[in-house]
Structure 1
Amino acid sequence: MSKWTTANIPDQTGRTAVITGANTGLGYETAAALAARGAHVVLAVRNLEKGKAAADLIVGRSPGASVALQELDLTSLASVRSAAGQLRSEYDSIDLLINNAGVMMTPRSTTKDGFELQFGTNHLGHFALTNLLLDRVLAAPGSRIVTVSSTGHRFVRGIRFHDLQWEQQYNRVRAYGQSKLANLMFTYELQRRLHNTQTIAAAAHPGGSKTELTRNLPRPVAALSSLLEPLFQDADMGALPSLRAATDPGVLGGQYFGPDGFGEQRGYPKIVGSTDASHDADAQRRLWAVSEELTSVSSPVI
């Protein structure tokens, strides 16, 4: 397949998709594309007012689209549990769970539970949400869990197990890299655990995309980013790897999708590779165990 686009998305009628961070950027474009193909889309967002505005825009683009809102703050495990409980009461099955929301290169800060903000939001929040909803996802034949990572996973050589929360010598770029590496390791370990089910886990990254994520970039990185911005692609193109991972019938569990252009920064989605560190099976299992301990959420799949 030469150029995979939204035109290649199969009919999604009758399918339910839950997308985190779906009120703007990549998440919004992912939700809009799935809704346009008939999916019932749940926008899992922190700000319900912004979520309502996004839902209205989606319906405006696709009259008759089926869109719902779910309040979710990934920086709070209490909110994650509450959201999962509400989604479980509303849906007997979930066909697509797209872990899209995230923060990028933020100044040193913590979640409401005391975790380093990027690791806590990008990885632990989604780890907890996925496992709390996993029985609903398993109940849908052919279901998928897609987690959005980044080429930033290459910023680190491995998980900083001795100081997961970056309490020593905080570096916002490397902390971001760790959180994105964790997203990939989570996906690969989750797929191993799902191998005897009808559900698969896959990952994607958007390349260089114009989204609100860049608002926290350190000055030197921001300066470089502004120079390179003409090379970045719009969010609708950045969403294509996630959409392909979520809907292409040929996707296999554990695959990772990104743009096909130079440096995987822009272009159409293809299967891409990730670092050796992301494929370290012992580290994957260790991260999973630590994540269960930190979130007090146990996985229903072993």
Structure 2
Amino acid sequence: MVGNGCYDNFPMREMMYADLIVRRVDLADLAEVKSLAMCLAKQFTSIDLVICNAGVMLESRSTTTTTSNIEIHQAVNLLSHATLVHFLLPSLAELGSRVVFVSSITAHLGNLRRFPIESPEFFCGHFRNGYEAYATSKLATAFYAQELNSIFAKSTRSRGTTVVAVHPGCVASGLYQHVNFATKLLIRRILKPIMRNPANAAAEIVALGCCDNLRGGCFYQHMIPVRDLCSASDQQRQQIYEQVQRIIANIQTSTDENWEFRALN
């Protein structure tokens, strides 16, 4: 599944010999994500690994999605992933399924105090800038992964599903496309050689999802669980989980079933 913002740059030529199915979806449209997830759950009845990797930073579009009053970073970076996983649950019930949420080290800078977690404004409010919105979305993602793993561990049906969050490192990717010119120049001229290669970062995330000793509910960095990197009280995690579930419960199913589809053999 490829978000609209990444589709045009997706490495089709490099994937031409892979057994790959690509489906394009607007991750800011939660109804579209829900419909696609339900379609995938019917098509693939047993899914071993889900990696929730899409993300935006300093998004230049409107501060809300086109279909709801949700701040764009929260919609794409957390809620689209949570929606996808929620509606793939029928296919994740088998023993040993894994879900990896890609968070960020910038979660340290997330601000959970700007809007009360229990308030509807938590995902809909306006942040000071795109950096704060991005960091907060990544912090909420880490907390959601922890709570979701806890929920799965208590569930008879989904007890075998393990959920983790991961910081992939500082990757030289399209995530920085909206930063200012000076920052872009700094990345291209100085930082890019020491930043992580996207292919290597992706390979590490896949390896993490497949490793034998994966510890559910942990925040990983370089294949190692990092303690208290994104610490939160049980109440905070539960409140974020409940807010996400409230939004998911109110998502209407998209009427557009004509998903852009491409299979590469």
TM-score range, shorter chain: 0.7 to 0.9
**SS of the residue 2:175 aligns to:** helix
Q: Deviations over 1:82-101 (max 9, x none)?
A: 10121022111211111111
Q: For 1:154, which of 93, 108, 112 is the aligned residue? A: 108
8 Å CA contact retained: 1:190, 1:201 = yes
TM normalised by structure 2 equals 0.80
Residue 35 of structure 2 corresponds to residue 73 of structure 1 = no
Give the structure 2 partner of residue 170 of structure 1: 128
Residue 193 of structure 1: how far off its partner (Å)? 0.6
8 Å CA contact retained: 1:103, 1:118 = yes
Residue 56 of structure 2 corresponds to residue 103 of structure 1 = yes
Give the structure 2 partner of residue 189 of structure 1: 147
Counterpart-to-counterpart distance in 2, 1:174 and 1:223: 22
Residue 192 of structure 2 corresponds to residue 229 of structure 1 = yes
Aligned ranges 1:84-95 → 2 under 5 Å: 84-95=37-48
Q: Deviations over 1:218-260 (max 9, x none)?
A: 456546545433321211222244123210111121122223x
Counterpart-to-counterpart distance in 1, 2:5 and 2:183: 31
* Gap runs ≥5 in structure 2: 252-265
Counterpart-to-counterpart distance in 2, 1:233 and 1:49: 18
**SS of the residue 1:243 aligns to:** helix
Residue 64 of structure 2 corresponds to residue 133 of structure 1 = no
Residue 160 of structure 2 corresponds to residue 205 of structure 1 = no
Counterpart-to-counterpart distance in 2, 1:169 and 1:297: 24
**SS of the residue 1:126 aligns to:** helix
Q: Which amino acid aligns with 2:192?
A: E
Counterpart-to-counterpart distance in 2, 1:50 and 1:172: 22
Q: Which amino acid aligns with 2:38?
A: G
TM normalised by structure 1 equals 0.71
8 Å CA contact retained: 1:242, 1:257 = no
Give the structure 1 partner of residue 2 of structure 2: 45
8 Å CA contact retained: 2:58, 2:178 = yes
* Gap runs ≥5 in structure 1: 1-43, 260-268
State the percentage of identical aligned residues: 26
Q: Which amino acid aligns with 1:270?
A: I
Counterpart-to-counterpart distance in 1, 2:200 and 2:209: 15
Q: Which amino acid aligns with 1:46?
A: G
Counterpart-to-counterpart distance in 1, 2:245 and 2:110: 23
Residue 176 of structure 2 corresponds to residue 217 of structure 1 = no
Change (3 A) 1:84 1:159: farther
Counterpart-to-counterpart distance in 2, 1:118 and 1:286: 19
Q: Which amino acid aligns with 1:149?
A: S
Residue 57 of structure 1: how far off its partner (Å)? 2.2
Change (3 A) 1:86 1:115: same
Q: Which amino acid aligns with 1:121?
A: V
Counterpart-to-counterpart distance in 1, 2:55 and 2:177: 12
8 Å CA contact retained: 1:144, 1:200 = yes
Give the structure 1 partner of residue 78 of structure 2: 123
Q: Which amino acid aligns with 1:124?
A: L
Higher relative contact order (CA 8 A, sep 6+): 2
Give the structure 2 partner of residue 57 of structure 1: 14
Change (3 A) 1:52 1:232: closer
8 Å CA contact retained: 1:200, 1:252 = yes
Change (3 A) 1:174 1:225: farther
State how many pairs are aligned. 240
Change (3 A) 1:135 1:169: closer
